[in-house]
Amino acid sequence: MALLEVSNLSISFGGLRAVDNFSLNIEKNQLYGLIGPNGAGKTTVFNMLTGVYRPDEGIIRLDGQDLVGKKTIEINQAGIARTFQNIRLFGQQTVMDNVKIGLHNQYEYSTLTGILRLPKYHSMEKAMNEKAIDLLKVFELEDKADYLASNLPYGQQRKLEIARALATNPKLLLLDEPAAGMNPNETQELMDTIRFVRDNFDMTILLIEHDMRLVAGICEDLTVLNFGQVLAQGDTKTVLKNPEVIKAYLGE
Amino acid sequence: MSFLSYLINGLSLGSVYAIIALGYTMVYGIAKMLNFAHGDVIMIGCYVVFTLMSQYGVHPGISILAAILICTCLGVVIEKIAYKPLRGANSLAVLITAIGVSYFLQNLALLIFGADTKSFTSVVNMPPLHLAGGKLTISAVTIVTVLSCIVIMIALMLFIRKTRAGQAMLAVSEDRDAAQLMGVNVNGTISLTFAIGSGLAAIAGILLCSAYPTLSPYTGAMPGIKAFTAAVFGGIGSIPGAFVGGLVLGIIEILGRAYISSQLSDAIVFAVLILVLLIKPTGLLGKPIQEKV
Amino acid sequence: MKTGIKNMKKEVRGQLITYGLVIGVFIIVQVMLSLGMISNLMQGLLVPLCTYSIVAVALNLCVGYLGELSLGHAGFMCVGAFSSAFFTKCTMTTGLNENVRFFLALLVGTLTAALFGYLIGIPVLRLRGDYLAIVTLAFGEIIKNVINVLYIGRDSAGFHFGMKDETSLGLGEDGEVLVNGAKGIMRTPHQSTFTIGVILLLISLFVCFQLVNSRSGRAIMAIRDNRIAAESVGIPITKYKLLAFTISAAIAGIGGVLYAHNLSTLTAQPANFGYNMSIMILVFVVLGGMGSFRGSVIAAVLLTMLPEILRGLADYRMLIYAIVLIAMMLFNWSPKLIEFRKKFIADVFKKKEKEAA
């Protein structure tokens, strides 16, 4: 059974079919790419997968669990975490606290415990700090732990967003243009990091990306979206040679 | 008959709310902010007329024109100094600044005119209308107020439909960035919106004080908030909505005062606001706003 | 490991400095009081100073940390004041120990304000931004209006309620009017002292500091910084908004209790519980710095005392506040100024690096 099963997903905005009959299966531990020209509906797919939008039709299953109609919070708890195309960090909090907010549902203690600093507060905070530092190390952000998130350079903000998403302990990680705004060196580094996350966290990753070097370099399978419809689907090499795909990217 | 006269009073008060609500709704639609100081512009307009008429014996017509002119300028200046630098900033910051402006105007008036309540002389100097054999009396102010409101509404609708400036306003309220790309002068349009809204506030204030002839630095605050309620009720951003919302709210307030409790009339109006926002936050005639992710 | 104030975590240090400041001022005032160096007028201000500080801290939790502007905090203060004063009035003749009674009144006031905060928060917190501000304002005004037409009396038959006037209560001969509409609650004991005020302020600060530096506090600030991202990492938005709002209302209620027990007659007027008061408190919060509890206390104290010290300035006080408020908002939030500051700082850094090289 595939980890993520999506079938016949459709949504319209004001009569315009933004995504039409979208289907996708992702196996556990796969690195999967979702590509397509601007406005093809890629982020809309992410928004449906994470419950920001409710699809008009279709089925979304994660590990066999039906997700359509669930709220964003419930979907996160079911095991999907994401990053955003336009970075959404908690800018006025430290890098460390951003990750600790991601750990919110892993390490619980009550508000009263927190206010009164009961023993459980100390043990939980200690565990959270250790876990958060471990995650930051993966992204080489541990020496920036006390910085305000909004003061990080762009590339590191993108990394911090991934670290925060990972902190929620997901089964499936959705990355929305993780390499946007990065220079070639940073992109190369990011590719290594993504592979590392997949291997070491036993993670399944679905990513949207425009940088073809990254897509060709790390994605095993691809789905190409054009005008809301699936144009091609399959293993990366075959899909990228597909004349329809080349046409859609280069134009007539 | 008493019900009918309450209804007419409600229409009159509602017309004032409608004119004030126009200022809120236009500014909200175009600048996407709640101009908390709008109510205090009303108060400034009233003080201008009061000073000119009662202290210098200026003709009411000229006093009114002066008040409209001063309020128009005031609106534009407020926008330039306090709101324009914050364009694109967090909406909480804009709102707090607007509250600051409101606070400033109130305390400025307090300093200049004193805290004591002034009795305002009505600008309408005509005999009341007697109907149904003298059983129903409608004051001239009431008639002038309702008529002014209707005229203003029609003029404003025509302005927006028929003129380039009006079309620019529509464009900016739909999508500011797109309008800018299409060559619309966004800053000019926002200034114009504040100018019109504030000019209307002066008219509304004068009508309000002619009907309820007391004037203090806090005169504008409550009607301002209630008119905002009216704008929300009708659907913020919608001009016909402001009209409908204003009238309904005015009638609710007067009937509530007459039949439920005079002390609770404000509470009733606010309860209406809360109900509307909770049941249909977009108001009667408003459009929903979607947040982009 | 070294100990000492320099090696402490930043947040802990900030917290201790604030407590130290409050206690320091308290001791100085006590010494000055015993030496008779404080005028009667100033003595009369001591409890209100604590009251405003507490409410400002409460509002800062709501505005600075939750990121929602409430214009109804005077309403929560009003609820705390009236519920506690009502309790005190009811139990005055029972022979209850005075201190126990005050403590119970404090609990009653705080919990009632919390309950109102919770009940009002459920519908209100669904709204965003400007709408939320205006609806909290509406609730605050409704609370004030309703209290002004509320009549409660008691006789041997029990409690009587009315919304019209004193006589409509239909009290027996042994009856006593407890809440008398617009005339409020009369002849309540003065029990608020400066010492109690300072203790309550310290408790309020403690609760707020510990809250924002805990798991729940981080969740609250996450919602403020980016609601959509907070949802995406599984933070239950409504729960934490409601939590912060309720605690904020409860602390405003504490301020109300202190306020009520500093007066012999408690009435709800626009000046004390109207939205002008809410805005006054907001001025303290903004001038003290949104997100800084210490700033709120300092601003509340300074801005309340200044006009008393500089008599000539009293007339201009509000106007100056307004101008400073607008100027501070523009300085702190104008996108252009923020960019300018960032550039400026970056330039300074570059120069230093060059000099170093």
Bigger pLDDT: C245 vs B293: C245
User: Quick check: C3 pLDDT over 50?
Assistant: no
Does the distance separating the beta carbons of A93 and C233 come in below 8 Å?
Answer: no
**pLDDT tens digit string along C211-222?**
999 999 999 999
Nearest partner of C226 among A152, A167, A90, B92, judged by Cα: A90
Q: How far is C339 from chain A (nearest CA, A)?
A: 13
Identify whether the C-beta of residue B228 lies closer than 8 Å to the C-beta of residue B21: yes
Q: Is there a single domain that holds both residue A57 and residue A96? A: no
**For residue B49, what are the contacts with CB-CB under 8 A and spacing of at least 6?**
B60, B63, B64, B66, B67, B120, B123, B206, B209
How confident is the model at residue B154, as a pLDDT?
93
Does residue A163 sit within a domain?
Answer: no
Do residues A76 and C234 lie in contact, with contact meaning Cβ atoms separated by under 8 Å? yes
pLDDT at residue A252 is higher than 60: no
Question: Residue C1 pLDDT more than 50?
Answer: no
A165 within a domain of the structure (yes/no): no
Which residues span the domain enclosing A68? Answer: 4-79+170-250
C235 and A115 in contact by Cβ < 8 A?
Answer: no
Q: What is the pLDDT of residue A244?
A: 87
**pLDDT (tens digit per residue) in B47-56:** 999 999 988 9
Tell me the shortest Cα–Cα distance from A27 to chain C, in angstroms: 23
Q: Which residues of B touch A47 (CB under 8 A)?
A: 293
CB contacts of C330 in chain B (<8 Å) are 82, 85-86, 97
Whether B237 shows a pLDDT value over 90: the answer reads no
Which residues in chain A have Cβ-Cβ distances shorter than 8 Å to C211?
111, 114-115
Residues of B within 8 A of A84 (CB-CB) are 293
Lowest-pLDDT range of A127-141, B238-252, B278-292: B278-292
Residue A146, classified by CB atoms within 10 Å of its CB into exposed (0-12), middle (13-18) or buried (19+), is exposed
Complex prediction ipTM: 0.92
Which residue, C241, C240, C256, is CA-closest to C204?
C256
Determine the residue among B99, B268, B291 to mutate to test chain C binding: the one whose Cβ has the most chain C Cβ atoms within 10 Å.
Answer: B99
Among A104, A120, A154, residue at a domain's last position: A154
Please identify, among A120, A154, A188, the residue that sits at the C-terminal boundary of a domain.
A154
Q: Structural domain tally of chain A? A: 2
User: Which whole number is the average pLDDT over C269-289?
Assistant: 89
Chain-chain contact of A84 with C234 (C-beta, under 8 angstroms): no
Residue % of chain A over a pLDDT of 70? 99
A130 within domain boundaries? yes
Q: What average pLDDT does chain C have?
A: 89
Between the ranges B219-233, C34-48, C51-65, C281-295, where is the mean pLDDT highest? C51-65
Q: What is the pLDDT of residue C95?
A: 83
Closest CA of chain A from B290, distance in Å: 11
Q: What pLDDT score was predicted for residue C2?
A: 41
Mean pLDDT of C10-18: 88
**According to the model, what pLDDT value does residue A42 have?**
93
- The whole-number pLDDT of residue C357 equals 59
Q: What does the pLDDT look like over B155-194, one tens digit per residue?
A: 999 999 999 999 999 889 888 888 888 889 999 999 999 9
Contact B85 C133 (CB under 8 A): no
pLDDT of residue C88: 94
**Which of A101, A125, A148 has the highest number of chain C CBs within 10 A, making it the mutation to test binding with C?**
A101
Please give the Cα distance from B90 to B88 (Å, whole number): 7
Residue of C211, C228, C236 with shortest CB distance to A114: C211
According to the model, what pLDDT value does residue B277 have? 81
Residues of C in contact with B25 (CB under 8 A): none
In a domain, A192, yes or no: yes
Out of B34, B100, B225, closest to residue C322 by CB? B100
The answer, yes or no, to whether residue A146 has pLDDT greater than 50, is yes
Q: Quick check: B236 and B283 in contact, CB under 8 A?
A: yes
Residues A66 and A16 in one domain: yes
Q: A82 vs C232: CB contact, 8 Å cut-off?
A: yes
Q: Got the DSSP string for chain B?
A: -HHHHHHHHHHHHHHHHHHHHHHHHHHHHHH-S--TTHHHHHHHHHHHHHIIIIIH---HHHHHHHHHHHHHHHHHHHIIIIIGGGTTS-HHHHHHHHHHHHHHHHHHHHHHH-SSPEEPPPS---PPEEEGGGTEEE-HHHHHHHHHHHHHHHHHHHHHHHSHHHHHHHHHHH-HHHHHHTT--HHHHHHHHHHHHHHHHHHHHHHHHHHS-EE-TTTTHHHHHHHHHHHHHH-TT-HHHHHHHHHHHHHHHHHHHHHT-STTHHHHHHHHHHHHHHH-TTTTT----PPP-
Interface test with C, best of A73, A74, A103, A166 (most C CBs within 10 A): A73
Chain A residues in contact with C228 by the CB 8 A cut-off are 52, 84, 88
Q: Which residues of C touch B224 (CB under 8 A)?
A: none
| C216, C235, C236 member nearest A114 (Cβ) | C216
Sort out which chain C residues have CB atoms less than 8 A from B266's CB and list them: 141, 145
Q: What percent of chain A has pLDDT over 90?
A: 82
A226 interface with C at CB cutoff 8 Å: no
Domain ranges for chain B? 16-220
**Which residues of B are less than 8 Å from A52 in CB distance?**
293
Supply φ then ψ for residue A86, to 5 degrees.
-95, 110
* pLDDT digit string, tens, across residues C92-107: 888 889 999 999 999 9
Of the candidate ranges A48-57, A214-223, C165-174, C305-314, the one whose mean pLDDT is the lowest: C305-314
- Inter-axis angle of helices B91-113 and C317-333, nearest 10: 160
Amino acid of residue C320:
I
Give the closest of B90, B267, B293 to C142, CB-based.
B267
For the purposes of burial, counting CB atoms within 10 Å of the CB of B48, is it exposed (0-12), middle (13-18) or buried (19 or more)?
buried
Residues of C in contact with A168 (CB under 8 A): 233-234
CB–CB contact C318 B92 (8 Å): no
Cβ under 8 Å to C: A residues 81-120:
81-82, 84, 88-93, 97, 100-102, 104-105, 107-109, 111, 113-117
In a domain, A213, yes or no: yes
Residue B7 vs residues B124, B266, C52: alpha-carbon distances, Å: 21, 17, 44
Q: In B250-264, which positions are buried (b, 16+ CB within 10 angstroms) versus exposed (e)?
A: bbbbbbbbbeeeebb
CB pair distance less than 8 Å for C234 and A76: yes
What number of C-beta contacts closer than 8 Å exist between B and C?
Answer: 121
